[in-house]
Amino acid sequence: MMGCRATPIQRMYKQSRKPLPRCKHDTASNMPTNSNVALHFIGVGGSGMSALALVALSQGYLVSGSDLLRSAQLVQVEAKGAICFAGHSSTNVGSKKSSSSEPLYVPEDVHLTVSVPDAIVASSAVPRTNIEYSFAREAGIPVYNRAQWLTRTSKRKNVVAVAGTHGKTTTASMVAMVLLENDLDITALVGGNVRQFPGGENAIGGSGNFFLIEADEYDGAFLGLSPQIAVITNVEFDHPDLFKCLRDVRVAFKKFTRRIETGGSIVICGDDANSSTFMSKACSSKLEVVTYGFARNNLWRAMNVKSNTGGGTTFTVSRADVKKQDVSISLPGRHNVLNALAAIATASCIRDACDASCAAPSPSQRGCHRMKNLLCFDPVMFTALNNYRGIARRMQFVGFFGSCALYDDYAHHPTAIKAAIGAMREQYPEARVTVLFEPHTFSRTFVMLRSFVAALSEVDRVMVTSVYDARTELSALSSNAISGQDISRCIGSNSLYFDSFQDVVRQLLIESSILDSGKYCEGDIGNEIYEEEAENLPDVLTDNVHSVTLILGAGSSVEISAVLLRALRFAELGTKT
């Protein structure tokens, strides 16, 4: 029987360089990590993919990438030496066909010509009909999803994986800061821009043994990991485009717990009923189980939680109700107290891991001796948490305009929205709270409509925009079935609907009587970003705040807070002239 003939594209690829083994037969030794290996990331502007690209750059790979639009994450990957494209085209992955897609930035020492990559890493949000994905398949280029690439890149590392429906980004970044404070040379991938990471990026490419990652359940990405230490902050129904019900979500997390290495540790929020169901199975699997929360039955417990005048939270942490220590963090809300408590519990597990793995540390394992000697209540750990400056769009204090405090948060699930609003109510009990909310995906909006309405009804005013279609949901469920207007209508008279956030900004300026007075032009409401370092912001003096505006969402709302603050501050100055 005659074999199949190679297509012209396959022949071109074979002539360009020796192909790598397909990912289903993949082992870490099949692909050398050096400057001769080229990777292309489809969807490089996403938080998870950009972090993977940054780590790949630090490991010496030649990196290129593409995404639909320009984003802050894409710009950060470019600045590190990658060639990135706005728009998808087969020419981005070495095809000779013409394309309108142009590189946004090309480093001076990189030739403009893009060669056919040795492998492609594709985001879960990228459809299989994507032109770059299709070209790669036809050319025989190995295509990895996130889980498959994580399996490769975390090979032979001590993996610390922070998972959960909510809170994993903040928790992972807090753990990273504790490890960095102890001089560990870590690799860290976080789903948000960490202010204290070099360049304010969302990843660090280190050479030490510890590989810290925010482990995402979407599309089973966290199933590519084999963690030595796993954290589960909470488990709740989410991603209805992927999971049909809560049971499906729990099954995914159960598979994740089975991937923990024998003799490893699992850190669980004992207050969360769905997470607690994994405790008995973990014990039978001979894993160390460490619990945290507010309830007395947890090993690590937070008590005496209070908002402070600096805009953050103070609480007392205890271990086994024996020793106690006061802790202060810069973030508001009881949910962030749980995140900090998870970081403390995880650091204690890492200390134990250092005891086992760093008996004779190499230069790349510097800090292990310091970490293994870390006491349960070592001042270094609490100093790291006290100095923690947060992540972009995680209860981020953006600034003041007049007596109004502007906050920005990634919350796009009813539970997360309720927690963010609760944090504002605790911090500013007398203030009027306005929420600007952009729903994220039609499927989530449709399935959780009642929960969204219940959560948003707890504030004084809500301004809702159109649904952000993050994954281009090609089904009957679309704007014809559900919209942001449905949420606004169900909330009632204290809610307004707008087609976009730009319309929201315009409405707020009209209410300030600025547009009518000619002090500010509609043309000024653009994409220019007003940047101000956090250390230059004034202290959040709660007594002087009469109202709070809280931006919530995970789509186009990402950069609106800076635009809004700039516009309103400009307007405020205009009224004084």
Whole-number Cα distances in Å, 169 to 87, 189, 197, 331, 436: 28, 9, 14, 14, 22
At 502, the pLDDT band (50, 70, 90 cuts) reads confident
What mean pLDDT is predicted for residues 21-33?
41
Specify the CATH number of the domain 8-145: 3.40.50.720
Report which of 294, 288, 249, 290 is spatially closest to residue 271, judged by C-alpha positions.
294
Neighbours of 314 (CB within 10 A): 15
- DSSP output for 474-519: -SS-STTT--HHHHHHHH-TTEEE-SSHHHHHHHHHHHTTHHHHTS
Helix (H, G, I), strand (E, B) or coil at 200: helix
Q: What percent of the chain has pLDDT over 90?
A: 45
At 518, the pLDDT band (50, 70, 90 cuts) reads very low
- pLDDT at residue 225 is higher than 50: yes
Same fold, 8-145 and 396-575: no
At 27, the pLDDT band (50, 70, 90 cuts) reads very low
Cβ atoms of 51 and 187 within 8 Å: the answer is no
- pLDDT for residue 239: 93
Residues 462-492 pLDDT 10s: 999 999 886 665 444 555 578 999 999 999 9
Residue, of 381 and 513, whose pLDDT is higher: 381
Assign domain 396-575 to its CATH superfamily: Mur ligase, C-terminal domain (3.90.190.20)
- pLDDT for residue 503: 85
Residue, of 454 and 366, whose pLDDT is higher: 454
At 380, the pLDDT band (50, 70, 90 cuts) reads confident
- DSSP output for 374-385: --TT-HHHHHHH
Residues 534-544 pLDDT 10s: 344 444 455 57
What mean pLDDT is predicted for residues 435-450?
93
Q: Strand 313-319 and strand 300-307: pairing?
A: antiparallel
Residue, of 527 and 197, whose pLDDT is higher: 197
At 53, the pLDDT band (50, 70, 90 cuts) reads very high
**Crossing angle of helices 131-139 and 8-16, rounded to 10°:** 80
- pLDDT for residue 455: 97
Min mean pLDDT across 110-114, 146-150, 283-287 is at 110-114
Does this model's pTM top 0.85? no
- pLDDT for residue 520: 44
CATH C-level class of 154-386: alpha beta
Q: Report domain extents, the chain.
A: 8-145, 154-386, 396-575
Q: Strand 461-464 and strand 495-497: pairing?
A: parallel
- pLDDT for residue 272: 94
- pLDDT for residue 377: 55
Q: Say how far apart CA 77 and CA 55 lie, in whole Å.
A: 10
Residues 383-420 pLDDT 10s: 899 899 999 889 998 888 778 888 999 999 999 999 99
- pLDDT at residue 129 is higher than 90: no
Cβ atoms of 42 and 126 within 8 Å: the answer is yes
Sheet with 265-269, strands from edge to edge, namely 203-204, 187-189, 210-214, 158-163, 229-232, 265-269, 288-293, 300-307, 313-319, 323-329
Query: ∠ CA 111-112-116 to the nearest 5 degrees?
Result: 90
Min mean pLDDT across 40-49, 204-213, 307-316, 507-516 is at 507-516
- pLDDT for residue 35: 60
**Crossing angle of helices 379-386 and 168-181, rounded to 10°:** 130
- pLDDT at residue 107 is higher than 60: no
- pLDDT at residue 25 is higher than 50: no
Q: Say how far apart CA 21 and CA 40 lie, in whole Å.
A: 16
- pLDDT at residue 531 is higher than 50: no
Residues 247-283 pLDDT 10s: 999 999 999 999 999 889 999 999 999 998 887 777 6
Arithmetic mean of pLDDT over the chain: 80
- pLDDT at residue 12 is higher than 60: no
Q: Say how far apart CA 462 and CA 308 lie, in whole Å.
A: 26
What are the residues whose beta carbons fall under 8 Å from the beta carbon of 418, sequence distance 6 or more? 455, 458
- pLDDT for residue 296: 93
